[in-house]
Amino acid sequence: MTAVRQRKGSKGKEPGPGIQNLKPECVAEPRERFPTGGFSWWTILCLISGSIVGVSLGLLCCIYVATLHENDLWFSNIKEVEREISFRTECGLYYSYYKQMLKAPTIQQGLYELTHDNTTESKRTINILQRMNIYQEVFLSILYRILPIQTYLEPIYFYIYTVFALQTVYVIALFITSWLLSDSWLAGALSGVWYILNRVDTTRVEFTISLRENWSIPFFALQVAAITCYLRPKLKPIHQRVVLWLVFVSTFCFCLTWQFNQFVLLVQALIIYTLDCLDFLTAEQVVSLYLMQVSSLLLVWLLQFCNSMILGSLVLSFIVSALFIKHFQTGLKMGGFVIRVGKLALHTLLVLALTFTINYSAKKVLQLKSDEHIFKFIKAKFGFGATRDFDASLYLCEEAFGLLPLDTFERLAGTVLLYPYLCTLSVLFILLLLVALSNLSLNGLGQASGEKEDRTFKMRPDVAYNLMHTVFFGLLAFSTMRMKYLWTGHMCTIAAFGVCGKEVWALYLRVLHCNTKTAMRLIRYSVPIVILAFLYYKFWPRLMEEISELREFYDPDTVELMEWISMETSPPTTGLLKCLCVATRIHRRALSYSTIGMKIEISKTKTETISALTDGVICYLNKKEGSTPEFEEGVSYILQKHTLSNKFGQMYLFVGPGSLKFKTTPHNFSEAAQTSAKEALCPPSPEMTGGEPDIFSRGGHISLRGQITEFHGVRMTRARVPIVDLKIKCLEGTFSVSLWREAALTELFVGDEVLITHLRPCVQETGTGKFHSSNYTTVEIAEGQMQETVVEVIGVSNVNHTCHFLGSDSQVYVVPQIVFAGNPDDLIARLPLHLSLKHVNRRVFQISEVSE
């Protein structure tokens, strides 16, 4: 038997490891890969079914987080100013640039305002596109302008739906990575399900929509999937070039959308460097991946108007140093084990020394100091010295930049994610060490040896990369809690790979001496199905309960503050305004609620008067605290030195101490202008019969008239807001209705004929429709036919401070406290009672005792 061997003493070109020509380690059977020559029907069926499952899981995650966001804030029902207030901290700042671009007369003018911004920093004009990563807001604003969607999709919904849609990309990327590693789309399904169930630790997109990480991490996951595909064994050159382009595009999008891109890429560059030193990657693969990172960073540098922070980044210095030293140190992978370890240690010292030298020189030349606080923070965090830098100290005080809390692992263990992850990680990491020792002992041949000798341990480069990825980013997550979102998503991938892949199971089966194809297939397909069934049984009811929990955004103080700021920052109008007060409305708003026994009551209210005015063209609203309106209904005025504001989608008119208000002769404005003003004060709410086909898609408000057939007790949400669920039977259908806040406290009973106005239709996740009350909702109880009935009362009950009589005919009569304020226990001793009850639908208005 002959074998091609390297000549002794050869100083020729350094051989690459060539891992792609090897079979995966510890697998007794050949891998079931996609055929290179053609596709069987079974392969095509698997591809189609797997793709459908992956896309479905991605869409499910998108709908899930969008539903949580809607249910948590009641986003569709609150005012524009409240929607914008819901973007907390820097999220609101990022959204303001999107809004600024939309309000600009042209795209060119909007871009000019961003590059010459004098409102973000006091007394300074800065280039926002250079300073911050907001190209996603610019792109979305341009896209919203050119797409024909303005008539039926508000700008803020286009913004948040885009961010939620990126969660679909994220889940699909995890699905693909697991599928590529294990050759089974069941692994992809398992990783997607785990990602959704561990939402608390994998994403926070539903309440921090605009954060840069929610834009960038989906692209980072897509990049990891592309790298996994690129490192797969026996990949054709044309396929390698296509996948490399995908690596470049995803890396570029990731870098463009997050300011922490350079630090994340530095960790990734260290992973590539480690795998290169241990002979898991070929020289071509290493250089290609480095160049994709450098190209992406340089392109972002150009788009950010030559941002010096990118050129002074540590990752660029490291990649340049690694490539430079690698090019000149040609004999790095020659020699025995001890010699190679010594060379690698020297090589690493040279790379690090050159890295810090280049980085220090670049910062001196560029006079770069903007990222010094980050290194001061790292130095202080790990105990290498205290710092007095304000930004670094602020990071140290922030909980998000502290160590990873231990309760994170309790939550991960509760979804059965932690246990397979730790098993897979420990087995593969030990295997990686054994393979690395074997590679370093082969005199530079690594796993690319031309000898066809059987090796005890082998590991594919795509598996090695993902293993090192989860180790490095796991350490980063342990040190900084905010970075856990880079780790937990990939954690789902590794755990799913361990459950569905052959590598780990092959080792276990070899130990049990039953490593056969039948046993391997049985365990690879049965275990993930059992886990998925268990997760469905345990968590599906919880998910349904979670998305059924309704809350409401309620922050009246901040709303008033924003409206006050809007008024104070708007310059007073010097001209005259001729207007007519069309209508006024007194609005009493509950500020807080209290629970007394089983009854919910309003504990604190605030009264304000809203006036609707028109100048014949534009409608204005004026708010004044108290029950006395600023303007009299039906009176015409001439105003001077007033303030107008249109920052929140509605024109508001403010009258201050210096404003002049003159009553004048009636203005003859058109009926259409006056009607428009009335609708601004109280939107129209047409009455529906229930048979309209577009009742849930027409938008706006509607009114329903009918009889209450079901009524559930009033309850308090976790946001301390009362809500009551009922069903109302209309002329052509029965509908579910949820009444919120003050409307929920209306005294209603089954059988009441009611008219409920200003309901907002919505479609639930199950596809069924439901109506919610709004700030304008009123509940009118129809006056029914008064009846007088002699009843033999055989039972008395007191529920929510309301007395109920049970008649001998099994009918229940409701007696409000205003009708009977006595002690119900006093009546029990006198039962049975013969009473004459005047009632409407068994709601009692008068009681008189019948003498026997």
Examine residue 498 and state whether it is found in any structural domain, yes or no: yes
Examine residue 144 and state whether it is found in any structural domain, yes or no: no
Q: Does residue 11 register a pLDDT over 60? A: no
What's the rounded mean pLDDT across residues 271-297? 94
Q: Which of 317-321, 412-416, 593-597, 728-732 has the lowest mean pLDDT?
A: 593-597
Say what angle helices 212-230 and 155-182 make with each other, to 10 degrees: 30
pLDDT confidence of residue 305: 92
Q: Which of 151-165, 184-198, 500-514 has the lowest mean pLDDT?
A: 500-514
Examine residue 222 and state whether it is found in any structural domain, yes or no: yes
Residue 378 sits in the same domain as residue 330: yes
Residue 627 sits in the same domain as residue 486: no
**Total domains in the fold of the chain:** 4
Q: Do 727 and 713 meet the contact criterion of CB atoms below 8 Å apart?
A: no
What's the rounded mean pLDDT across residues 423-452? 76
3-state secondary structure of 700: coil
What is this structure's pTM?
0.75
What's the rounded mean pLDDT across residues 680-706? 85
Residue 692 sits in the same domain as residue 830: no
Examine residue 779 and state whether it is found in any structural domain, yes or no: no
Examine residue 35 and state whether it is found in any structural domain, yes or no: no
Residue 672 sits in the same domain as residue 693: no
pLDDT confidence of residue 334: 80
Q: Give the integer Cα–Cα distance in Å for 18 and 7.
A: 18
3-state secondary structure of 386: coil
Question: Tokens 């795998």 appear where?
Answer: 275
Span 26-76, pLDDT tens digits: 333 334 443 344 567 888 888 999 999 999 999 999 999 999 998 888 888
Which CATH number characterizes residue 579's domain? 2.40.50.140
pLDDT confidence of residue 258: 93
Examine residue 821 and state whether it is found in any structural domain, yes or no: yes
Residue 729 sits in the same domain as residue 794: no
Q: Give the integer Cα–Cα distance in Å for 799 and 810.
A: 18
Q: Report CA 572 to chain centroid distance, whole Å.
A: 40
Tokens matching residue 121? 């920093």
Q: Does residue 378 register a pLDDT over 80? A: no
Residue 362 sits in the same domain as residue 410: yes
pLDDT confidence of residue 647: 63
Examine residue 146 and state whether it is found in any structural domain, yes or no: no
Span 699-758, pLDDT tens digits: 788 899 888 888 877 888 766 788 888 889 888 888 889 888 888 888 787 777 888 999
Q: Which of 504, 521, 544 is the last residue of a domain?
A: 544
Q: Which of 495, 515, 544 is the last residue of a domain?
A: 544
pLDDT confidence of residue 265: 96
- Residue 759's domain spans which residues? 687-774
Distances (CA, A) of 301 to 183, 304, 310, 432, 456: 38, 5, 6, 37, 47
Who wins on pLDDT, 2 or 436? 436
Among residues 283, 361, 359, the alpha carbon closest in space to that of 323 is found at 283
Q: Give the integer Cα–Cα distance in Å for 435 and 428.
A: 10
Residue 731 sits in the same domain as residue 841: no
pLDDT confidence of residue 429: 94
Residue 472 sits in the same domain as residue 455: yes
Residue 535 sits in the same domain as residue 673: no
The angle formed by the CA atoms of residues 300, 301 and 303, to the nearest 5 degrees, is 60
Q: What is the dihedral of CA 361, 364, 365, 371, to 10 degrees?
A: 100
Residue 290 sits in the same domain as residue 417: yes
Residue 691 sits in the same domain as residue 675: no
Residue 348 sits in the same domain as residue 390: yes
Q: Give the integer Cα–Cα distance in Å for 376 and 389.
A: 8
Among residues 323, 176, 180, 170, the alpha carbon closest in space to that of 254 is found at 170
pLDDT confidence of residue 410: 93
Examine residue 112 and state whether it is found in any structural domain, yes or no: no
Q: Which of 747, 774, 801 is the last residue of a domain?
A: 774
